[in-house]
Amino acid sequence: MNPQPLSLPRLTGLVRLAAAALALLATSALSAADNVFLWPALAPGETSEAPGEAQPPRAGEEPPVTRVVNIRRPSLDVFLPEKPNGTGMLIIPGGGFGKVVTDKEGSEAAAWLNRLGIAAFVLRHRTSEGKPADEPLWHRPLQDAQRAMRLLHARAAEWKLQPDRIGVLGFSAGGQVAAVLMTSGPEARYAAVDEVDGQPFMPAFGLLIYPWKTLAASGDALLPEIAPGPGTPPAFIVHTHDDASSSLGSVLIYAALKRHGVEAELHIYRNGGHGYGMRPVEGSDIGTWPDRAADWLRARGLATAP
């Protein structure tokens, strides 16, 4: 019996998946240059310094995904490029606030950014265990993101960063936090604790990748905490049409930026779902979003050729 030839779309998909697998193997060799705690002592409102613990891998998940829970003392994983170009990126992973996905939405993005000459800093923000019932899920992660941005500015010379080229990349729940961070106004959500808190926390630009639940309950407006205005930094936004966390939120963010004259670029892919991170999805073109993002970063002078 003669085997049937592969169709061109199927062959193309297999090639993409194979290339992605090779990229992930390369990424697995990347290790953080350092892990830096954000706060000199307890984070705001905390009574523990637990750095978090990784959950056991889920059966059948290949490549595996690392999910860290019970983070009470937030930190940054530092990934520095061989040839830095002065750009830095705070990466806020997803995980539904109860977890932080440190590889698929963290170190794998850091490897991609390093190839573009960009220093990457993966935020292990506090998770939601034991938070007060009336406290928004994004509140403590936002405090951690603001503190992290200030820390990047305070140590810019050490990490070879240009202060006007420090941005944020947020995935899923991290994308929601990044959207709040970019539109939160000049007042921090915590009291200053040291000289680091004299630094700015507003990113110079932002990448929002399938930001999670940015719509208000009515479904026709953004969350009140996400209020783009003329001072919001430029943004690159990615979503899929079939994402259960509606792409309408991303559309409304883009529309608000457009109305206020803020440079923005929006990509809505036909399919691909949610939670893909840097990884391709068979039968979808969503795996090409990093190429489009790299184009956007290069056009703004923020990335060099890989």
Domain boundaries, the chain: 34-41+61-299
Identify which has the larger pLDDT, 4 or 218: 218
In the CATH scheme, what is the homologous superfamily, with its name and number, of domain 34-41+61-299? Alpha/Beta hydrolase fold, catalytic domain (3.40.50.1820)
Q: Scan for tokens 């003329």, then name that residue.
A: 230
**Percentage of the chain exceeding pLDDT 90:** 85
pTM for the model: 0.90
Pick the closest to residue 284 from 252, 239, 251 (CA basis): 239
| CB 100 within 8 Å of CB 54 | no
pLDDT of residue 179 exceeding 50: yes
Question: How many beta carbons lie within 10 A of that of residue 268, not counting itself?
Answer: 15
Identify which has the larger pLDDT, 10 or 138: 138
Reduced to 3 states (helix: H, G, I; strand: E, B; else coil), residue 128 is coil
Q: Which two tokens stand for residue 47?
A: 């009574």
pLDDT of residue 22 exceeding 80: no
pLDDT of residue 59 exceeding 70: yes
Stated as kind and residue range, the H or E segment containing 133 is: none
Spell out the residues 6+ positions from residue 18 whose beta carbon is closer than 8 angstroms to its own: none
**Percentage of the chain exceeding pLDDT 70:** 90
Single-letter amino acid, residue 172 = S
How far, CA to CA in Å, does 135 sit from each of 8, 130, 141, 215? Answer: 51, 10, 12, 18
**What's the residue count for the chain?**
306
- List residues bridging with 75 in a β-sheet: 37, 124
User: What is the predicted pLDDT for the residue at 20?
Assistant: 46
Q: What's the chain's average pLDDT?
A: 91
Identify which has the larger pLDDT, 144 or 6: 144
User: What is the predicted pLDDT for the residue at 90?
Assistant: 98
pLDDT of residue 62 exceeding 90: no
pLDDT of residue 181 exceeding 90: yes
Q: pLDDT digits over 23-52, tens only?
A: 444 444 466 779 999 999 999 999 999 999
User: What is the predicted pLDDT for the residue at 244?
Assistant: 94
Q: Which of 3-17, 249-263, 285-299 is predicted with the least confidence, judged by mean pLDDT?
A: 3-17
User: What is the predicted pLDDT for the residue at 236?
Assistant: 98
- Per-residue confidence at 305, pLDDT binned at 50, 70, 90? confident
- Per-residue confidence at 13, pLDDT binned at 50, 70, 90? very low
CA–CA separation, 9 and 241 (whole Å): 21
